[in-house]
């Protein structure tokens, strides 16, 4: 008889300890409990709620869903070991979307440029790497594939937000963003030269 009471009491305590109130309290982030907010976290949150980002995301989604392009231009590029191709899509006479795909022995780079009224608004850069070349598949098996994506938001050709896979979420230094802005705009200019050919 004593054994039954011993089993009932611990089960009752366990049931009371897992009430909704205690579960809700445990789900609160530790930072909120301690009141410890650093400046970088606040800045990052402000960037994430920037209305320009939401507006650009909507424009990018509209471009991605578009299937009735006025015209398209495909050309080959030879900037990597295995070559590549660039496809430009037009809205009227203006370039609205560019896909640049560069192939290599150990991977590929696939960049997507989104433009509005001939101004860059967004870039998605995908760096896809292989653990070994595909031609060694018979000896080494199917290669492992790793993809890193970087996202850049622009306004009037100025990079105002950069998101990189694997970063810690802290805002990037201004000099880093400026260097990335220059690199991306230089790549875009190099692609646009093909229109003159």
Q: What is the distance between the alpha carbons of residues 88 and 103, in angstroms, rounded to a whole number? A: 18
The DSSP call for residue 90 is E
H or E stretch including 113?
A: strand 107-116
pLDDT at 3: 42
Percent of the chain at pLDDT exceeding 70: 73
Report d(CA 17, CA 131) in Å as an integer.
Answer: 50
pLDDT over threshold 70, residue 143: yes
Summarised one tens digit per residue, pLDDT across range 31-57 is 333 333 333 333 444 455 789 999 999
How far out from the chain centre does Cα 63 lie? 17
Q: How far is CA 196 from the centre of its chain?
A: 31
Predicted TM-score (pTM) of this structure: 0.71
Q: Do 104 and 83 form a contact (C-beta atoms < 8 A)?
A: no
Q: Return the closest-CA partner of residue 111 out of 134, 95, 94, 128.
A: 128
Separation CA 47–CA 165 (nearest Å): 17
Give the pLDDT band (50/70/90) at residue 19: very low
141 Rama sector, left if φ>0, alpha if ψ -120 to 50, beta otherwise? left
CB atoms within 10 A of CB 13: 10
Residue 153 and residue 161 in contact, taking contact as beta carbons nearer than 8 Å? yes
Backbone angles phi, psi at 56, to 5 degrees: -65, -40
Across 50-74, average pLDDT: 91
Residues 6+ apart with CB under 8 A from 141: none
Structural contact between residues 72 and 90, judged by C-beta atoms closer than 8 angstroms? yes
How confident is the prediction for the chain on average, in pLDDT?
77
> In the chain, what are the domain boundaries?
51-196
Contact between 159 and 184 under an 8 Å Cβ cutoff? The reply is yes
Residue 135 has pLDDT above 60, yes or no: yes
Type and span of the H or E element at 61: helix 51-65
């Amino acid at each position: 008889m004593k054994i039954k009471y011993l089993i009932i009491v611990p089960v009752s305590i366990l049931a009371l300890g897992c009430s909704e109130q205690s579960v809700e309290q445990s789900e609160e982030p530790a930072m909120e409990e301690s009141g410890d907010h650093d400046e970088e976290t606040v800045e990052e949150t402000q960037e994430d709620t920037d209305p320009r980002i939401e507006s650009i995301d909507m424009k990018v989604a509209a471009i991605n869903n578009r299937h009735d392009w006025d015209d398209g231009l495909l050309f080959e590029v030879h900037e990597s070991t295995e070559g590549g191709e660039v496809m430009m899509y037009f809205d009227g006479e203006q370039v609205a979307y560019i896909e640049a795909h560069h192939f290599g022995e150990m991977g590929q780079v696939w960049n997507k440029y989104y433009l509005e009224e001939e101004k860059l608004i967004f870039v998605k850069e995908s760096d896809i790497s292989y653990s070994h070349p595909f031609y060694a598949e018979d000896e080494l098996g199917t290669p492992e594939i790793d993809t890193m994506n970087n996202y850049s938001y622009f306004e009037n050709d100025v990079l105002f937000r950069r998101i990189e896979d694997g970063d810690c979420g802290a805002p990037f230094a201004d000099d880093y963003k400026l260097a990335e802005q220059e690199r991306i705009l230089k790549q875009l200019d190099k692609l646009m030269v093909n229109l003159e050919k």
